[in-house]
Amino acid sequence: MSAGDPQPPEPIPGARLLFSLDPAVAHLNHGSFGSVPIGVQRAQQRLRDETEANPMRFFTQGLVDRIVHTRRHLATFLGADPDGTALIGNATTGAAIVLQSLRLRPGDEIVCTDHGYGAVRLAVERECRRTGAVLRVLPVPLRATDDEIVEIVRTGLRPGRTRLLIVDQITSPTARLLPVREITTAARVHEVPVLIDAAHAPGMLPVDIDAIGADFWVGNLHKWAYAPRGTAVLAVTPAWRQRIEPLVVSWEQESGFPLRVEWQATLDYTAWLAAPVGLYTLRTLGVDRVRAHNAALAAYGQRVVGEALGLQPADLPDPGGPAVAMRLVPLPAGLATTLADATALRLRVAEKLATEVAINAWGGRGWLRLSGQVYNRADEYDRLARRLPALLTELA
Protein backbone atom coordinates (compact mmCIF):
# COMPACT_ATOMS: atom_id res chain seq x y z
CA MET A 1 0.00 0.00 0.00
CA SER A 2 1.43 3.39 -0.99
CA ALA A 3 1.02 6.69 0.82
CA GLY A 4 -1.40 7.81 -1.87
CA ASP A 5 -3.80 4.90 -1.48
CA PRO A 6 -7.31 6.02 -0.45
CA GLN A 7 -7.96 5.42 3.22
CA PRO A 8 -11.34 5.23 4.99
CA PRO A 9 -12.51 8.42 6.71
CA GLU A 10 -13.39 8.70 10.35
CA PRO A 11 -17.08 7.80 10.83
CA ILE A 12 -19.38 10.70 11.65
CA PRO A 13 -20.57 10.01 15.23
CA GLY A 14 -24.22 9.03 15.43
CA ALA A 15 -24.85 9.26 11.71
CA ARG A 16 -25.59 5.59 11.27
CA LEU A 17 -28.37 5.76 13.87
CA LEU A 18 -30.27 8.28 11.75
CA PHE A 19 -31.36 5.58 9.30
CA SER A 20 -33.66 2.56 9.58
CA LEU A 21 -31.72 0.32 7.18
CA ASP A 22 -31.57 -3.43 7.79
CA PRO A 23 -28.34 -3.94 9.76
CA ALA A 24 -27.94 -7.45 8.33
CA VAL A 25 -27.32 -6.00 4.86
CA ALA A 26 -24.43 -3.85 3.64
CA HIS A 27 -26.10 -1.03 1.73
CA LEU A 28 -23.39 0.11 -0.69
CA ASN A 29 -25.73 1.48 -3.35
CA HIS A 30 -27.08 4.73 -1.98
CA GLY A 31 -26.95 6.18 -5.49
CA SER A 32 -29.89 4.20 -6.83
CA PHE A 33 -32.71 5.04 -4.43
CA GLY A 34 -31.12 6.85 -1.50
CA SER A 35 -32.16 6.25 2.09
CA VAL A 36 -34.52 8.51 4.03
CA PRO A 37 -33.40 9.45 7.57
CA ILE A 38 -35.79 8.49 10.35
CA GLY A 39 -36.49 12.12 11.23
CA VAL A 40 -37.52 12.82 7.64
CA GLN A 41 -39.71 9.71 7.58
CA ARG A 42 -41.49 10.94 10.69
CA ALA A 43 -41.94 14.43 9.28
CA GLN A 44 -43.56 12.98 6.19
CA GLN A 45 -45.77 10.73 8.27
CA ARG A 46 -47.00 13.72 10.27
CA LEU A 47 -47.92 15.38 6.97
CA ARG A 48 -49.77 12.23 5.88
CA ASP A 49 -51.63 12.23 9.18
CA GLU A 50 -52.55 15.86 8.62
CA THR A 51 -53.83 15.02 5.15
CA GLU A 52 -56.02 12.17 6.34
CA ALA A 53 -57.37 14.10 9.33
CA ASN A 54 -59.08 16.51 6.93
CA PRO A 55 -58.30 16.00 3.22
CA MET A 56 -60.54 18.87 2.15
CA ARG A 57 -58.73 21.34 4.37
CA PHE A 58 -55.27 20.02 3.45
CA PHE A 59 -55.77 20.32 -0.31
CA THR A 60 -57.80 23.51 -0.45
CA GLN A 61 -56.49 25.75 2.34
CA GLY A 62 -52.94 26.93 1.84
CA LEU A 63 -51.37 23.94 0.10
CA VAL A 64 -50.22 25.99 -2.90
CA ASP A 65 -48.52 28.46 -0.56
CA ARG A 66 -46.79 25.62 1.25
CA ILE A 67 -45.53 24.19 -2.03
CA VAL A 68 -44.20 27.61 -3.07
CA HIS A 69 -42.47 28.05 0.30
CA THR A 70 -40.86 24.61 0.03
CA ARG A 71 -39.79 25.26 -3.54
CA ARG A 72 -38.06 28.50 -2.53
CA HIS A 73 -36.18 26.70 0.24
CA LEU A 74 -34.94 23.92 -2.06
CA ALA A 75 -34.16 26.22 -4.99
CA THR A 76 -32.06 28.47 -2.77
CA PHE A 77 -30.02 25.47 -1.61
CA LEU A 78 -29.33 24.63 -5.27
CA GLY A 79 -28.50 28.15 -6.41
CA ALA A 80 -31.57 28.41 -8.64
CA ASP A 81 -34.19 31.08 -9.22
CA PRO A 82 -37.25 29.92 -7.23
CA ASP A 83 -39.57 31.50 -9.79
CA GLY A 84 -37.99 29.36 -12.51
CA THR A 85 -37.84 26.11 -10.56
CA ALA A 86 -40.61 23.52 -10.35
CA LEU A 87 -40.94 20.67 -7.88
CA ILE A 88 -41.39 17.36 -9.70
CA GLY A 89 -41.36 13.65 -8.91
CA ASN A 90 -37.93 12.75 -10.26
CA ALA A 91 -35.31 13.73 -12.82
CA THR A 92 -36.76 11.43 -15.48
CA THR A 93 -40.10 13.20 -15.16
CA GLY A 94 -38.33 16.51 -15.68
CA ALA A 95 -36.66 15.22 -18.83
CA ALA A 96 -40.04 14.06 -20.19
CA ILE A 97 -41.56 17.49 -19.49
CA VAL A 98 -38.76 19.21 -21.39
CA LEU A 99 -38.94 16.80 -24.32
CA GLN A 100 -42.67 17.21 -24.89
CA SER A 101 -42.40 20.99 -24.49
CA LEU A 102 -39.88 21.28 -27.36
CA ARG A 103 -42.53 20.52 -29.99
CA LEU A 104 -40.09 18.57 -32.13
CA ARG A 105 -40.63 18.09 -35.85
CA PRO A 106 -39.35 15.61 -38.44
CA GLY A 107 -35.68 16.21 -39.13
CA ASP A 108 -34.93 17.68 -35.69
CA GLU A 109 -32.35 15.85 -33.65
CA ILE A 110 -31.55 15.32 -30.01
CA VAL A 111 -27.95 14.67 -29.02
CA CYS A 112 -26.74 12.85 -25.91
CA THR A 113 -23.68 10.88 -24.83
CA ASP A 114 -23.39 7.14 -24.36
CA HIS A 115 -23.11 7.72 -20.59
CA GLY A 116 -26.73 8.81 -20.26
CA TYR A 117 -29.34 7.28 -17.98
CA GLY A 118 -31.31 4.50 -19.65
CA ALA A 119 -34.80 5.75 -18.77
CA VAL A 120 -34.03 9.21 -20.16
CA ARG A 121 -32.83 7.63 -23.38
CA LEU A 122 -36.08 5.64 -23.57
CA ALA A 123 -38.03 8.90 -23.17
CA VAL A 124 -36.04 10.48 -25.99
CA GLU A 125 -36.63 7.48 -28.24
CA ARG A 126 -40.37 7.62 -27.57
CA GLU A 127 -40.52 11.34 -28.36
CA CYS A 128 -38.59 10.73 -31.56
CA ARG A 129 -41.06 8.05 -32.63
CA ARG A 130 -43.94 10.42 -31.95
CA THR A 131 -42.48 13.43 -33.76
CA GLY A 132 -40.17 12.12 -36.45
CA ALA A 133 -37.10 13.58 -34.75
CA VAL A 134 -33.91 11.53 -34.45
CA LEU A 135 -31.56 10.68 -31.59
CA ARG A 136 -27.81 10.83 -32.07
CA VAL A 137 -25.53 9.37 -29.41
CA LEU A 138 -21.97 10.65 -29.02
CA PRO A 139 -19.48 8.04 -27.78
CA VAL A 140 -17.30 9.45 -24.99
CA PRO A 141 -14.34 7.35 -23.78
CA LEU A 142 -14.51 6.57 -20.08
CA ARG A 143 -11.09 8.07 -19.48
CA ALA A 144 -11.52 11.16 -21.65
CA THR A 145 -10.30 14.41 -20.11
CA ASP A 146 -12.66 17.32 -19.54
CA ASP A 147 -11.22 19.15 -22.54
CA GLU A 148 -11.66 16.08 -24.71
CA ILE A 149 -15.27 15.67 -23.56
CA VAL A 150 -16.09 19.29 -24.35
CA GLU A 151 -14.52 18.93 -27.80
CA ILE A 152 -16.42 15.70 -28.54
CA VAL A 153 -19.69 17.38 -27.67
CA ARG A 154 -18.87 20.64 -29.47
CA THR A 155 -18.02 18.91 -32.73
CA GLY A 156 -21.07 16.64 -32.38
CA LEU A 157 -23.57 19.51 -32.51
CA ARG A 158 -25.27 20.53 -35.74
CA PRO A 159 -26.43 24.15 -35.53
CA GLY A 160 -29.89 24.58 -36.99
CA ARG A 161 -30.67 20.90 -36.66
CA THR A 162 -29.77 19.94 -33.08
CA ARG A 163 -32.75 21.00 -30.99
CA LEU A 164 -31.50 19.71 -27.65
CA LEU A 165 -28.29 18.47 -26.06
CA ILE A 166 -28.71 16.20 -23.02
CA VAL A 167 -25.69 15.69 -20.79
CA ASP A 168 -25.33 14.24 -17.29
CA GLN A 169 -23.67 16.14 -14.47
CA ILE A 170 -22.76 12.83 -12.82
CA THR A 171 -23.32 9.82 -15.04
CA SER A 172 -25.33 6.95 -13.61
CA PRO A 173 -23.77 3.91 -15.35
CA THR A 174 -20.18 5.17 -15.18
CA ALA A 175 -20.10 7.44 -12.08
CA ARG A 176 -18.29 10.17 -14.01
CA LEU A 177 -18.44 13.88 -13.25
CA LEU A 178 -18.77 15.79 -16.52
CA PRO A 179 -17.79 19.44 -17.12
CA VAL A 180 -21.36 20.61 -17.61
CA ARG A 181 -20.65 24.33 -17.33
CA GLU A 182 -18.03 24.20 -20.09
CA ILE A 183 -20.26 21.98 -22.22
CA THR A 184 -23.14 24.42 -21.81
CA THR A 185 -20.90 27.32 -22.86
CA ALA A 186 -19.81 25.43 -25.97
CA ALA A 187 -23.40 24.59 -26.89
CA ARG A 188 -24.54 28.17 -26.38
CA VAL A 189 -22.10 29.34 -29.06
CA HIS A 190 -24.12 27.24 -31.52
CA GLU A 191 -27.46 28.27 -29.95
CA VAL A 192 -28.23 24.69 -28.97
CA PRO A 193 -30.41 24.33 -25.83
CA VAL A 194 -28.96 22.14 -23.07
CA LEU A 195 -30.68 19.83 -20.59
CA ILE A 196 -28.49 18.82 -17.65
CA ASP A 197 -29.51 15.52 -16.06
CA ALA A 198 -28.17 16.09 -12.55
CA ALA A 199 -30.00 13.24 -10.84
CA HIS A 200 -27.07 12.62 -8.46
CA ALA A 201 -25.84 16.18 -7.91
CA PRO A 202 -28.08 17.71 -5.17
CA GLY A 203 -26.49 16.97 -1.82
CA MET A 204 -23.44 15.21 -3.23
CA LEU A 205 -21.91 18.26 -4.90
CA PRO A 206 -21.98 22.01 -4.28
CA VAL A 207 -24.50 23.10 -6.92
CA ASP A 208 -25.05 26.53 -8.44
CA ILE A 209 -27.65 26.00 -11.15
CA ASP A 210 -27.72 29.60 -12.32
CA ALA A 211 -23.92 29.60 -12.73
CA ILE A 212 -24.05 26.51 -14.95
CA GLY A 213 -26.28 28.42 -17.33
CA ALA A 214 -28.10 25.47 -18.91
CA ASP A 215 -31.55 25.99 -20.38
CA PHE A 216 -32.92 23.08 -18.32
CA TRP A 217 -31.55 21.36 -15.22
CA VAL A 218 -33.15 18.42 -13.44
CA GLY A 219 -31.98 16.87 -10.19
CA ASN A 220 -33.21 14.52 -7.47
CA LEU A 221 -33.12 15.45 -3.81
CA HIS A 222 -34.10 11.96 -2.67
CA LYS A 223 -30.67 10.50 -3.41
CA TRP A 224 -27.99 12.57 -1.68
CA ALA A 225 -30.02 15.35 0.00
CA TYR A 226 -32.00 13.01 2.29
CA ALA A 227 -35.44 14.02 0.98
CA PRO A 228 -38.30 11.52 0.72
CA ARG A 229 -38.44 9.70 -2.60
CA GLY A 230 -40.32 11.54 -5.28
CA THR A 231 -38.62 14.89 -4.64
CA ALA A 232 -36.83 16.56 -7.52
CA VAL A 233 -36.61 19.92 -9.26
CA LEU A 234 -36.75 21.20 -12.81
CA ALA A 235 -35.00 24.56 -13.25
CA VAL A 236 -35.68 26.49 -16.46
CA THR A 237 -34.13 29.68 -17.82
CA PRO A 238 -36.48 32.66 -18.39
CA ALA A 239 -36.60 32.27 -22.17
CA TRP A 240 -38.21 28.84 -21.90
CA ARG A 241 -40.51 29.13 -18.90
CA GLN A 242 -43.73 30.00 -20.67
CA ARG A 243 -43.18 27.20 -23.17
CA ILE A 244 -42.97 24.49 -20.51
CA GLU A 245 -46.13 22.39 -20.35
CA PRO A 246 -46.96 19.78 -17.68
CA LEU A 247 -47.45 16.16 -18.62
CA VAL A 248 -50.92 16.38 -17.06
CA VAL A 249 -53.04 19.54 -17.10
CA SER A 250 -54.67 20.50 -13.80
CA TRP A 251 -56.15 23.50 -12.00
CA GLU A 252 -53.03 25.69 -11.90
CA GLN A 253 -52.55 25.54 -15.69
CA GLU A 254 -53.34 29.24 -16.11
CA SER A 255 -50.85 30.19 -13.40
CA GLY A 256 -47.93 29.45 -15.74
CA PHE A 257 -44.62 27.86 -14.86
CA PRO A 258 -43.76 26.57 -12.31
CA LEU A 259 -47.16 26.06 -10.64
CA ARG A 260 -48.71 24.54 -13.76
CA VAL A 261 -46.10 21.78 -13.51
CA GLU A 262 -46.23 21.36 -9.73
CA TRP A 263 -49.98 21.17 -9.16
CA GLN A 264 -51.19 17.68 -10.05
CA ALA A 265 -54.54 17.52 -8.23
CA THR A 266 -54.49 14.68 -5.66
CA LEU A 267 -50.77 13.99 -5.90
CA ASP A 268 -49.19 13.08 -2.55
CA TYR A 269 -47.32 16.32 -1.80
CA THR A 270 -45.99 15.16 1.57
CA ALA A 271 -42.59 14.16 0.13
CA TRP A 272 -41.98 17.69 -1.11
CA LEU A 273 -43.17 19.34 2.10
CA ALA A 274 -40.89 17.12 4.19
CA ALA A 275 -37.84 17.68 1.96
CA PRO A 276 -36.52 20.68 3.97
CA VAL A 277 -36.14 18.34 6.94
CA GLY A 278 -33.73 16.33 4.80
CA LEU A 279 -31.66 19.45 4.16
CA TYR A 280 -31.80 20.24 7.88
CA THR A 281 -30.40 16.76 8.59
CA LEU A 282 -27.63 17.28 6.06
CA ARG A 283 -26.73 20.65 7.53
CA THR A 284 -26.81 19.29 11.08
CA LEU A 285 -24.26 16.63 10.16
CA GLY A 286 -22.23 19.26 8.29
CA VAL A 287 -22.65 19.52 4.52
CA ASP A 288 -18.93 19.68 3.72
CA ARG A 289 -18.16 16.99 6.28
CA VAL A 290 -20.72 14.61 4.78
CA ARG A 291 -19.50 15.22 1.25
CA ALA A 292 -15.84 14.64 2.16
CA HIS A 293 -16.70 11.52 4.16
CA ASN A 294 -18.79 9.96 1.41
CA ALA A 295 -16.31 10.63 -1.37
CA ALA A 296 -13.40 9.26 0.68
CA LEU A 297 -15.33 6.14 1.64
CA ALA A 298 -16.32 5.43 -1.98
CA ALA A 299 -12.69 5.83 -3.04
CA TYR A 300 -11.60 3.42 -0.31
CA GLY A 301 -14.21 0.89 -1.39
CA GLN A 302 -13.07 1.12 -5.00
CA ARG A 303 -9.47 0.48 -3.94
CA VAL A 304 -10.03 -2.55 -1.71
CA VAL A 305 -12.52 -4.25 -4.04
CA GLY A 306 -10.30 -3.51 -7.02
CA GLU A 307 -7.27 -5.00 -5.26
CA ALA A 308 -9.27 -8.10 -4.37
CA LEU A 309 -10.09 -8.58 -8.04
CA GLY A 310 -6.42 -8.30 -8.99
CA LEU A 311 -6.68 -4.82 -10.49
CA GLN A 312 -3.98 -2.19 -10.46
CA PRO A 313 -4.69 1.47 -9.55
CA ALA A 314 -4.44 2.37 -13.25
CA ASP A 315 -7.29 -0.06 -13.97
CA LEU A 316 -9.71 1.84 -11.73
CA PRO A 317 -11.56 4.69 -13.47
CA ASP A 318 -11.21 8.19 -12.06
CA PRO A 319 -14.63 9.78 -11.39
CA GLY A 320 -13.51 13.13 -12.77
CA GLY A 321 -13.43 14.93 -9.44
CA PRO A 322 -12.56 14.27 -5.80
CA ALA A 323 -16.07 15.00 -4.49
CA VAL A 324 -17.88 12.18 -6.32
CA ALA A 325 -19.29 9.67 -3.81
CA MET A 326 -19.68 6.84 -6.34
CA ARG A 327 -16.85 4.79 -7.82
CA LEU A 328 -16.52 2.10 -10.51
CA VAL A 329 -14.75 -1.23 -10.42
CA PRO A 330 -14.46 -3.13 -13.73
CA LEU A 331 -15.65 -6.71 -13.50
CA PRO A 332 -13.84 -9.64 -15.13
CA ALA A 333 -14.31 -9.87 -18.88
CA GLY A 334 -17.47 -11.68 -19.93
CA LEU A 335 -19.45 -10.93 -16.76
CA ALA A 336 -22.53 -8.66 -16.72
CA THR A 337 -22.07 -7.48 -20.30
CA THR A 338 -25.84 -7.08 -20.86
CA LEU A 339 -28.54 -5.41 -18.80
CA ALA A 340 -30.15 -8.76 -18.01
CA ASP A 341 -26.86 -10.29 -16.90
CA ALA A 342 -25.98 -7.22 -14.82
CA THR A 343 -29.33 -7.43 -13.05
CA ALA A 344 -28.89 -11.15 -12.41
CA LEU A 345 -25.43 -10.61 -10.94
CA ARG A 346 -26.64 -7.78 -8.70
CA LEU A 347 -29.37 -10.02 -7.32
CA ARG A 348 -26.86 -12.82 -6.77
CA VAL A 349 -24.54 -10.51 -4.82
CA ALA A 350 -27.49 -9.35 -2.71
CA GLU A 351 -28.59 -12.93 -1.99
CA LYS A 352 -25.23 -14.58 -1.38
CA LEU A 353 -23.23 -11.73 0.13
CA ALA A 354 -26.00 -9.72 1.84
CA THR A 355 -24.69 -6.65 0.05
CA GLU A 356 -26.55 -4.17 -2.15
CA VAL A 357 -24.48 -2.76 -5.00
CA ALA A 358 -25.14 -1.36 -8.46
CA ILE A 359 -23.97 -3.37 -11.46
CA ASN A 360 -24.21 -1.89 -14.94
CA ALA A 361 -23.37 -3.04 -18.43
CA TRP A 362 -21.60 -0.31 -20.36
CA GLY A 363 -19.26 -0.33 -23.33
CA GLY A 364 -19.39 -4.12 -23.68
CA ARG A 365 -18.24 -4.70 -20.11
CA GLY A 366 -19.75 -5.15 -16.67
CA TRP A 367 -19.08 -2.54 -13.99
CA LEU A 368 -19.60 -2.62 -10.24
CA ARG A 369 -20.62 0.78 -8.84
CA LEU A 370 -20.05 1.49 -5.17
CA SER A 371 -21.49 4.40 -3.20
CA GLY A 372 -20.32 5.92 0.06
CA GLN A 373 -22.74 7.31 2.63
CA VAL A 374 -22.62 8.29 6.30
CA TYR A 375 -24.25 5.02 7.39
CA ASN A 376 -21.50 2.94 5.72
CA ARG A 377 -18.33 1.65 7.38
CA ALA A 378 -15.00 0.56 5.93
CA ASP A 379 -15.50 -3.02 7.08
CA GLU A 380 -18.51 -3.38 4.75
CA TYR A 381 -16.27 -2.79 1.73
CA ASP A 382 -13.57 -5.01 3.23
CA ARG A 383 -16.09 -7.83 3.63
CA LEU A 384 -17.26 -7.44 0.03
CA ALA A 385 -13.64 -7.49 -1.12
CA ARG A 386 -13.00 -10.76 0.72
CA ARG A 387 -16.07 -12.57 -0.57
CA LEU A 388 -16.74 -11.19 -4.07
CA PRO A 389 -13.83 -12.88 -5.93
CA ALA A 390 -15.02 -16.38 -5.02
CA LEU A 391 -18.58 -15.59 -6.14
CA LEU A 392 -17.37 -14.20 -9.46
CA THR A 393 -15.12 -17.21 -10.00
CA GLU A 394 -18.06 -19.51 -9.36
CA LEU A 395 -20.21 -17.64 -11.89
CA ALA A 396 -17.45 -17.51 -14.50
Task: Note whether residue 249 is domain-resident.
Answer: yes
Residues 51 and 22 both lie in one domain: no
Residues 177 and 237 both lie in one domain: yes
Residues 273 and 313 both lie in one domain: no
Residues 266 and 371 both lie in one domain: no
Domain that holds residue 195: 40-280
Percent of residues in the chain assigned helix, strand, coil, to nearest 5: 45, 15, 40
Helix 146-156, helix 180-189: angle, nearest 10: 30
Alpha helices in 190-269, H assignment, sequence order:
209-212, 259-262
The DSSP letter of residue 170 is B
Strands 232-236 and 85-88, sheet pairing: antiparallel
Residues 89 and 112 both lie in one domain: yes
Residues 221 and 142 both lie in one domain: yes
| pLDDT at residue 172 in the model | 95
CA-nearest of 304, 310, 301, 356 to 333 is: 310
Alpha helices in the chain, H assignment, sequence order:
30-33, 38-53, 55-60, 63-77, 91-101, 118-131, 146-156, 180-189, 209-212, 259-262, 270-285, 287-308, 339-353, 378-395
One digit per residue, pLDDT tens: the chain, 396 residues? 444 689 999 999 999 999 999 999 999 999 999 999 999 999 999 999 999 999 999 999 999 999 999 999 999 999 999 999 999 999 999 999 999 999 999 999 999 999 999 999 999 999 999 999 999 999 999 999 999 999 999 999 999 899 999 999 999 999 999 999 999 999 999 999 999 999 999 999 999 999 999 999 999 999 999 999 999 999 999 999 999 999 999 988 999 999 999 999 899 999 999 999 999 999 999 999 999 999 999 999 999 999 999 999 999 999 999 999 999 999 999 999 999 999 999 999 999 999 999 999 999 999 999 999 999 999 999 999 999 999 999 987
Question: Which of 234, 257, 280 is a domain's end point?
Answer: 280
Single-letter amino acid code for the residue at 222: H
Q: Rounded distance, CA 88 to CA 175, Å? A: 24
Using the Cα atoms of residue 212, residue 213, residue 215 and residue 220 in order, give the sign of their dihedral: positive
Residues 129 and 270 both lie in one domain: yes
Q: Answer whether 110's CB lies under 8 Å from 128's CB.
A: yes
| pLDDT at residue 4 in the model | 64
Query: Which residues touch 279 (CB under 8 Å, ≥6 apart)?
Result: 73, 74, 77, 221, 225, 226, 227
Task: Note whether residue 324 is domain-resident.
Answer: yes
Question: Which of 225, 247, 280 is a domain's end point?
Answer: 280
Residues 137 and 58 both lie in one domain: yes
What's the pTM? 0.95
CATH number at residue 213: 3.40.640.10
Residues 367 and 232 both lie in one domain: no
Task: Note whether residue 6 is domain-resident.
Answer: no
Task: Note whether residue 7 is domain-resident.
Answer: no
Chain-centroid distance of CA 79 in Å reads 17
CATH number at residue 385: 3.90.1150.10
| pLDDT at residue 396 in the model | 76
Q: Rounded distance, CA 257 to CA 235, Å? A: 10
In b/e form, how buried is each residue of 124-158, taking b as 16+ CB within 10 angstroms? Answer: beebbeebebbeeebebebebeeeebbebbbebbe
Residues 272 and 366 both lie in one domain: no
Question: Which of 231, 257, 280 is a domain's end point?
Answer: 280
Task: Note whether residue 321 is domain-resident.
Answer: yes
Task: Note whether residue 1 is domain-resident.
Answer: no
Question: What value does the CA radius of gyration of the chain take, rounded to a whole number of Å?
Answer: 21
Residues 55 and 70 both lie in one domain: yes
Number of domains in the chain: 2
Residues 231 and 248 both lie in one domain: yes
Task: Note whether residue 2 is domain-resident.
Answer: no
* Integer CA distances (angstroms), 7 to 140, 297, 356, in order: 30, 8, 22
Task: Note whether residue 4 is domain-resident.
Answer: no
